[in-house]
Chain A
Amino acid sequence: MSTFRTRAREALSASLEISGAWSRALRAGALAPNAYLGPIVKRAARVGDPPVNSTPHRVVYTRGSMRLLRFEPTVRRHATPILFVYSLINRYYILDFLPGRSLIEFMRDQGYDVYAIDWGTPGALEEQMNWDEFLGGMMRSAVQWTLKVSGAEDLTMYGYCMGGTMALAYAALYPQGLRNFVAQATPVDFHEGGIFHTWTRPEYFDVDAMVDAHGNVPIDLMEAGFSMMAPIQRLTKWLEVFRRIDDPEFVTTFLAMERWAADNVPFPGEVYRQYIKDCYQENNFYEGRMVVGGRKVDLGQITCPLLTLIAENDTIAPPPSSTALDGKVGSVDKTTLRFPVGHIGLSTSSKGPRMIWPEVARWIAAHSAALPG
């Protein structure tokens, strides 16, 4: 009888918890399946919230919505710091995913003084900002403050996804202070950009109408676009979690990934307009015709050592789009590493700490300055 009572009480508390979460999600107009299925899986798997973004850090500089974060190593082994530049669309913490599966934590433990740009949530102020203000203003300040705080003369710039594209544009315009460049899953030749290139063609998509109507591009619109990439798999992948509900590590990693995927921020309006036109529609970035602050972005101006990381199953930055970088830069020292993972897998898969990151850390170490003394 008492077992029945316990079970009934548990069922009641579960239904209250889940219906509460659903009503919050509905009120917020959430589209991501995580908002509705996440609470069910958490309760069924008996796991807590995934401990994402747990590497200790402190904010060393802010400008507008941007924050520069420092992940200081216990024992510093390299004089050259690493500055991570992430995309404006998602949150940077995919690079600081879970304890033991965090690229930032891994690099910090290798003795690097690690910094990351968190672009934050854009508001009305960021809506009117263009590439020049993001690159020549925010990123330039972030580079200067990284060098200042770490006491270094130059740094390794590590760009990921769209952050890689932005970082490449920055490196072409302001090569001073950059010792190395790592481009991870970075789209470069946008006409090789897969389905996104098709969807953003001017005959289908009027970016001016979108930015004029909304200002910053709302999360819902971006989410709807991502959902269209694989709408059925977006739901059916949850069934795999149902089957592995007794594997807490798998469930925690899955929930962490879904939480990150649902935690998007609006895309700053004017930057989005230029990004879609200059990159996806006209391929000006790749062809050297993109103009930022009155200057042409010429990738040939990048002469520092370059490491390109390719995810072989990448659908967001397909390999041909990323490998095109090699032929465009002025660098002599160029290395390309390929891994059998997807776009996000480079930063979150279990292969990361075992197979991918040690190789990356070795390359950066070989190209970094030694500590004096």
Chain B
Amino acid sequence: MTQPRPPKNLLTHLVTGIGYLTDPKSPPGKLFNRFETATSKVFDRLARSHTFLRIAGKGLNLGFMVRRSVTAGAEAWLHAWQAPTLGDVQAMRTQLRQLGDRLEVTQTQLELALDALARVEADLRATPRLPETP
């Protein structure tokens, strides 16, 4: 961050100008600040308004319903042509994932078993051998 920086460009001046015009300490900025506070209050009230939230929720639900119907329609059409749908591919992916997981579990168990074997082997080596009785 301490590297020498290139000189100011036109964009720097433009941006600084906008910054000044909206600075709460500058005369035009005071006006902007008042506008900002007022709009924030409106949005804050809206975000907590029961009526707005109900309408927004209904709008969202309608969007979800349309999307679901379009997807279901497309899948039905593809099924009619006996073509694999996204749902079919996903079901296959799930099966593949389950296979992968099973393989991973076996690998982990094998690693743990090998670790345990290595420990037993080390213990056996560390134990002094008793002389064999005739």
Our verdict on whether A and B bind, yes or no, reads yes
Taking the complex as formed, is B43 at the interface, i.e. its CB lies under 8 A from any CB of chain A? yes
Q: Are B11 and A204 neighbours in the complex by a CB distance under 8 Å?
A: no
Q: Which of B9, B67, B68, B71 contacts A10 (CB 8 A)?
A: B9
Q: Which of B47, B65, B104 contacts A63 (CB 8 A)?
A: B104
Q: Are A204 and B56 neighbours in the complex by a CB distance under 8 Å?
A: yes
Q: Which of B19-27, B73-81, B124-132 contacts A (4 or more CB under 8 A)?
A: B19-27
- Bitwise, B20-41 to A at CB < 8 A (1) or not (0) is 1011000000000000100110
Taking the complex as formed, is A64 at the interface, i.e. its CB lies under 8 A from any CB of chain B? yes
Contact partners of A239 in chain B: CB under 8 A? 18-19, 22-23
- Bitwise, A58-91 to B at CB < 8 A (1) or not (0) is 0000011000000000000000000000000000
Q: Are B43 and A242 neighbours in the complex by a CB distance under 8 Å?
A: no
Taking the complex as formed, is A195 at the interface, i.e. its CB lies under 8 A from any CB of chain B? yes
Contact partners of B18 in chain A: CB under 8 A? 239, 242
Interface residues in A1-37 by Cβ distance below 8 A to B read 7, 10-11, 14
Q: Are B22 and A236 neighbours in the complex by a CB distance under 8 Å?
A: yes
Q: Which 10 A-B pairs have the closest CB atoms?
A: A242-B19, A243-B19, A213-B64, A204-B57, A209-B64, A44-B15, A44-B11, A213-B67, A204-B53, A213-B68
Interface band, chain B: 35 or more
Q: What total of A-B pairs shows CB separation below 8 Å?
A: 115
Q: Which residues of A contact B (CB under 8 A)?
A: 7, 10-11, 14, 40-41, 43-47, 63-64, 124-125, 127-128, 137, 141, 195, 198-199, 201, 203-206, 209-210, 212-214, 228-233, 236, 239-240, 242-246, 248-249, 252
The majority secondary structure among interface residues of chain B is: helix
Q: Are B67 and A11 neighbours in the complex by a CB distance under 8 Å?
A: no
Contact partners of B40 in chain A: CB under 8 A? 230, 232-233
Shortest distance in angstroms between B74's beta carbon and chain A's nearest beta carbon?
13
Q: How far is the CA of A11 from the CA of B126 in the complex (A)?
A: 77
Contact partners of B65 in chain A: CB under 8 A? 209, 213
Q: Are A124 and B93 neighbours in the complex by a CB distance under 8 Å?
A: yes
Q: Which of B14, B53, B60 contacts A198 (CB 8 A)?
A: B53
Q: Are B57 and A44 neighbours in the complex by a CB distance under 8 Å?
A: no
Known: A204-B54, A209-B65, A213-B64. 12 other contacts (CB 8 A): A40-B11, A46-B6, A128-B94, A137-B101, A198-B48, A206-B60, A213-B63, A213-B71, A236-B22, A239-B19, A243-B23, A245-B19
Contact partners of A231 in chain B: CB under 8 A? 43
Q: How far is the CA of A11 from the CA of B10 in the complex (A)?
A: 7
Shortest distance in angstroms between A10's beta carbon and chain B's nearest beta carbon?
5
Q: Given A7-B9, A43-B11, A204-B57, do A212 and B68 touch, yes or no (CB 8 Å)? A: yes
Q: Are A236 and B97 neighbours in the complex by a CB distance under 8 Å?
A: no
Q: Are B1 and A248 neighbours in the complex by a CB distance under 8 Å?
A: yes
Interface residues in B69-120 by Cβ distance below 8 A to A read 71, 89-90, 93-94, 97, 101, 104, 108
Closest to B6 in A: A46
Q: How far is the CA of A242 from the CA of B8 in the complex (A)?
A: 13
Q: How far is the CA of A240 from the CA of B16 in the complex (A)?
A: 10
Taking the complex as formed, is B133 at the interface, i.e. its CB lies under 8 A from any CB of chain A? no
